[in-house]
Amino acid sequence: MPSKENKSKEKPRSKLFNYLVKFWLIVLTFIALVVFFFYGVVQEWYGPMPTFEELENPNSNLASEVYSSDGIVLGTYFIENRSNITYREVSPNLINALMAIEDIRFEEHSGIDERALLRVAYGVATGNSKGGGSTLTQQLAKNLFPRGYLNKPQLVLRKFQEWVTAVKLERSYSKQEIIAMYLNTVFYGHNAYGIKSAALTFFDKSPDSLNIQEAALMAGVVNAPSRYSPISHPEQSMKRRNLVLLQMKKYEYITSEAYDSISQLPLGVSKFSLQGHNEGIARYFREYLRGTMKKWCKTHFKADGEPYNLYKDGIKIYTTIDSRMQKYAEEAVREHLGNDLQPDFYKHWEGYKNAPFVFEDDEGEESEEIESLIDKIMQQAVKRSERYRKLKLAGADKDSIKKNFLTPVPMRVFKWSGPVDTIMTPMDSIRYYKFFLHTGLMSMETHTGFVRAYVGGNEYRYFQFDHVKQGKRQVGSTFKPFLYTLAMQEGEFSPCYKVPNISYSVELGDGTFWSPKNSDDKRLGEEVTLKWALANSNNWISAFLIKRFSPQSVAKMAHNMGVVSDIPYVPAIALGTPDLSLYEMVGAMNTYANKGVYVEPIFVTHIEDKNGNLLDRFVPERNEAMDEVTAYKMLKLMQGVVESGTGNRLQWKYGFNNPIAGKTGTTQNQSDGWFMGVTPDITTGIWVGAEDRSVHFRTIKLGQGANMALPIWAIYMKKVYADPSLGISMGDFDAPLRDLSVEFDCEKYDRLHNQGTGEFEEEEEF
């Protein structure tokens, strides 16, 4: 039998064994319950979990992006201003800052950081919290599938679901992919979703260009975008940024010296700009493109059969616009209209009661008839206004609307030097805006048809009418090249062919005659060359040619060269009475530099989906409008406009000496000023005029196209030629490949003709 001593030793051992068994039963039971619980989470017993397809394609609203030909994002169309990037497109500074402040062991854990969880548990137990325990992967899971409104039990359950999702993400994606996905889903405030939109909003940069202090600011903002906004709360934002820098120093991403210097720098958000349609460059173009893309989306479908959504599906639209040329074009408009032409217009109208309206026989005197005409124009403007539309929708009667328009209110109005806050009646603001001269500019590449610059007006925020595609105005003498093209094409005429400079009449068919007048008496009664006549916009010679060639033939030539608007079959079209768009005119004039082949101006080269898959590609339509000899003759004729005609100020004032073919245009009463400039690489057209045709300069000296539109072309092309990265040539036009036996030197032409040697006739053959 065992001794009493042995029995006493066995009792403690038995108790210890029982305690151990119970302990491990509890531990194993707990582990089993935890495993069972997480198994239930994975099996979706407690609620749905995101699938792999949903993880790879989160249901977020991706902005569609508009790219320039040189790779710049011109703008976006969005519900949420969100654009995605890859890891390679992110500055290493931002990666370092993010890890330092959010998840220093990101490269080591598998979605859940146990050490961080223990730190949180210790903080809860002791009341000495030292930060959260969520990893970047867990935060990504939360960002991909927002919590919404949850009660406490639901919130606890969702937290565990996010843990499972984080592990799934870690197993399915590389660390680099997870970082990129996280940066794409974060909200930075000020309508900026994702680092690409945020970098553009706060710094006007791409994410790969962020320096250390900018990266630290972005990494700090994500914790609480409203509280740490560098715009709304700069002091708190500065403290947060410097905390990130301190963490970067702690983990040796930067040195102590770098921290000391960088932490003293300002926030650096001077280029902050809310991303929207009223911001950035090419705003008129982007609005035109919005309309065409919405139509495109209706006829193009995703894999699920749904049509593309411009505001949600992250379409990438690659345009022909060159951001540098666009910038130069907008600067040229601002410099000429803002600094010169608009001030001249104000000065021109000082002291005139009816300013800026001009009516026949109006010299500024009071007249009931004139006042009635002005009142009619003003009332039409009232009915076109947004204020009137809203009042009508609200059910306001006529008297209430009238009172509203005559009551002074605070408003911000456009001024070239910058917006001005003032108080005036809505009616006075309408009159104020009637004074403004507007413009349109389009510049296209000669041989490709690619539109490189598009300026639809002065300032999109205040003037939303597009004068490139939407507007049509009388084109004046810029229409004359169509007429002269017929003369050159027939072979009977050449640039040096002479015609008596006398009045010509064209019978209209009803017993009446059309007899245009000239604006001056230059070389009255003399024989003048066609080159001289076009250079000086002589109307009598145009009448001679329209009499020789029918209006129908001229209209047909214009249509062959890309004009799609209706052109009336009347002799007066020889002087430019048709209303055409700037888009049509630039495309048509480009035909001459493209050796007689009309190439359709296009704005988009191709469209991709959010993953870079090609959805559509575009090529311009082409049409041989004339032979290359005729086109070259016309270039020589139009060079005369610049060398010795109405466009000569390009040489004597602006210093251009390279080959330029051009044509000015001025309509009746100086309501419209045009200039078309053609070079071997670029064709650019400009229109300038007021909203109403009754608003204009009263003198041809100020109101002609050479003064209103040509200077914009000159300023623009000076900037273009000065930028070697554009590669725009200042060389000559290519002569036809076939033998060209036409004399363009009119003095030599005269000598040969006067000698009577027969050489003249041979010169004309080709």
The pLDDT assigned to 579 comes to 97
Percent of the chain scoring above 90 in pLDDT: 63
Does the fold of domain 438-735 match that of domain 82-275? no
Residue that has been written with the tokens 């214009």 in this structure: 558
Residue that has been written with the tokens 């050490």 in this structure: 115
- Tens digits of per-residue pLDDT, 87-115? 999 999 999 999 999 888 888 887 777 67
Band of pLDDT at residue 223, cut at 50, 70 and 90: confident
- Tens digits of per-residue pLDDT, 535-584? 999 999 999 999 999 999 999 999 999 999 999 999 999 999 999 999 99
Model confidence at 364: pLDDT above 60 = no
- Tens digits of per-residue pLDDT, 480-526? 999 999 999 976 788 888 999 999 998 887 888 899 988 778 888 88
Mean pLDDT over the full length of the chain: 87
The pLDDT assigned to 79 comes to 82
The mean per-residue pLDDT over the stretch 384-392 comes to: 92
- Is the distance from CB of 322 to CB of 726 less than 8 angstroms? yes
Helix, strand or coil, per DSSP, at residue 193: strand
- Domain at 438-735, CATH from 3.40.50.880, 3.40.710.10, 3.30.420.40, 3.40.47.10: 3.40.710.10
CA distance 615 to 608: 5
CA distance 124 to 756: 111
The pLDDT assigned to 43 comes to 54
The pLDDT assigned to 760 comes to 36
The pLDDT assigned to 138 comes to 80
- Global pTM reads 0.84
Query: DSSP alpha helices (H): ranges in 134-205?
Result: 136-144, 152-172, 175-185, 195-203
- Tens digits of per-residue pLDDT, 35-87? 665 555 555 555 666 655 556 666 678 889 999 999 999 999 988 777 888 99
Model confidence at 218: pLDDT above 80 = yes
**CATH number, span 82-275:** 1.10.3810.10
- Is the distance from CB of 594 to CB of 620 less than 8 angstroms? no
- Is the distance from CB of 714 to CB of 656 less than 8 angstroms? yes
Closest CA to 70 of 276, 270, 328, 290: 328
Cβ neighbors of 469 (< 8 A, separation 6 or more) are 288, 456, 581, 582, 583
Instruction: Provide the residue ranges of all domains of the chain, joining segments of one domain with +.
Output: 1-45, 82-275, 355-434, 438-735
- Tens digits of per-residue pLDDT, 124-165? 556 555 555 688 888 887 777 665 555 666 555 666 667 777
- Is the distance from CB of 480 to CB of 530 less than 8 angstroms? no
Which run of H or of E encompasses 308? none
CA distance 625 to 556: 10
- Tens digits of per-residue pLDDT, 606-650? 999 998 999 999 999 999 999 999 999 999 999 999 999 999 999
- Is the distance from CB of 455 to CB of 468 less than 8 angstroms? yes
Least confident of 20-24, 194-198, 365-369: 365-369
CA distance 319 to 317: 6
